[in-house]
Amino acid sequence: MHIKNASILYGKDLEFIQSGYAVIENGVFTKIGNGSIEHDDNVHDAEGLLMIPGLINAHTHIADSIAKDIAADRSFNERIHPVYGIKRSILNKSKQKHLSTYMQAAALSMVKKGITTFADFREGAIDGITLLKNALNDVEIRCLGLGRVEYYFDTDSAKNNVDFPEDVKKTAESVLRACDGFGISGANEYSKNALEYFAKTARSHNKLLGIHAAEALESCRYSMENFGSSEVGRIVTHMMPDFVVHMTNASDDDIKLVASKNIGIVVCPRANGVLGVGVPRIASMLKHNCTVAIGTDNVMLNSPDLFRELDYIWKVCRAVEHEFVSARELLKMVTVNAAKILKLDKLGCIAEKMIVDAVFIDTHSLDLEPMHDPYTSIVHRASESSIKAVMIGGRFVHGSL
């Protein structure tokens, strides 16, 4: 396949090519450049279109889409605490077929919004992972399923470093064999021994390890009061995960610690806003050379729309931190950075030898024309309606040219 007359965001630095071409063979980019080349086979004219890498949603909980906007006036813990929150009650009481229907709808919604890959923290142990896989059977999208065991420690057990029972360990290993890694609820619900078990087991299977961290002030205070350490400190000391999610109320020391260990950060600012827990200090994270990606988080709280996330972040960072985070840097968070954190070596940018996941933006759409700055226009103005087509693995899965 030959794409001609396309503007392109090229390579890991998202270099803007004004008018160029891309040659695709077996779902992989083989040639990309300025101008044009002779190519007669399966040519697609992309005049007026900007080709960008497929967007990567680095943190979701799509099963929660069955509970959109329920209990919107409740507190942080009342809504989403893994043990006694309303969310858990809904997931436990809902029929599998109903959960599957809305999970599929959330995935379809993401494809139409240019999201070609997402990482989902999936509750429910083996049953939860199986449900996720079955729900996505008919949806052309890439998914990293990160599972967990539904076993949590009370405060005394966590403080006394109690181990997991052997049957829970067996369940955890079964979960890990069935999915792409662990997606842990948080450190406060586990002992030191349990956190170390998660880390050891994930590494022994060469799987991803992610965990929520420092989302709410009450969680940070709980950790200090009961363990004498910050959530982030316990996580780094006992787990060394591939990435942490949120860091909304992380201290400067927490951010420096994560940066020093090359642990990725996935921020979810709109969900944080819905829950009233604050705004992640993304400018500070970047100053400390953290690798930052973006997730839309819980569909109960938030639509799975990275365009809205980008627009929100771009503005709120300036308002809260009084720092300018460039639009190009934000676009890297939903492409290049997300692929790096999630260890997706062949995804995240448009370059030779990379898998062809791409989104074609109509630069003549009413919201975008005239496009003077492609990075800012995408971050500040693009939406689902700006998308002409979406490709995954070199195939059009939504729209066409």
Give the tens place of pLDDT for each residue, 283-340: 999 999 999 999 999 999 999 999 999 999 999 989 999 888 999 999 999 999 999 9
**The pLDDT of residue 75 is above 90:** no
- Dump the DSSP string for 172-198: HHHHHHHSSEEEE--STTS-HHHHHHH
pLDDT of residue 79: 80
**The pLDDT of residue 366 is above 80:** yes
pLDDT of residue 302: 92
Q: Two tokens at 149?
A: 């065991």
2-53+348-399 shares its CATH topology with 55-341: no
**The pLDDT of residue 40 is above 80:** no
Quick one: what percent of the chain has pLDDT higher than 90? 88
- Dump the DSSP string for 247-259: -TT--HHHHHHHH
Confidence bin at 86 (pLDDT 50/70/90): confident
Residues 129 and 115: their CA atoms lie apart, in Å, by 21
pLDDT of residue 78: 81
Residues 196 and 199: their CA atoms lie apart, in Å, by 5
CATH topology of domain 2-53+348-399: Urease, subunit C; domain 1 (2.30.40)
pLDDT of residue 93: 86
Quick one: what percent of the chain has pLDDT higher than 70? 100
Q: What is the pLDDT of residues 383-393, one digit of tens each?
A: 999 999 999 99
Parse the chain into domains and list their residue ranges: 2-53+348-399, 55-341
Residues 267 and 282: their CA atoms lie apart, in Å, by 8
Average pLDDT over residues 76-90: 81
Pair 227, 159: CB distance under 8 Å: yes
Classify 338 as helix, strand or coil: helix
The pTM for the full model equals 0.96
pLDDT of residue 329: 98
Average pLDDT over residues 239-258: 98
Confidence bin at 91 (pLDDT 50/70/90): confident
Nearest one of 279, 239, 278 to 257, comparing CA atoms: 239
**The pLDDT of residue 80 is above 90:** no
Q: Which CATH class is domain 55-341?
A: alpha beta
Confidence bin at 73 (pLDDT 50/70/90): confident
Residue 93 φ then ψ, to 5°? -90, -15
pLDDT of residue 381: 97
Average pLDDT over residues 89-111: 93
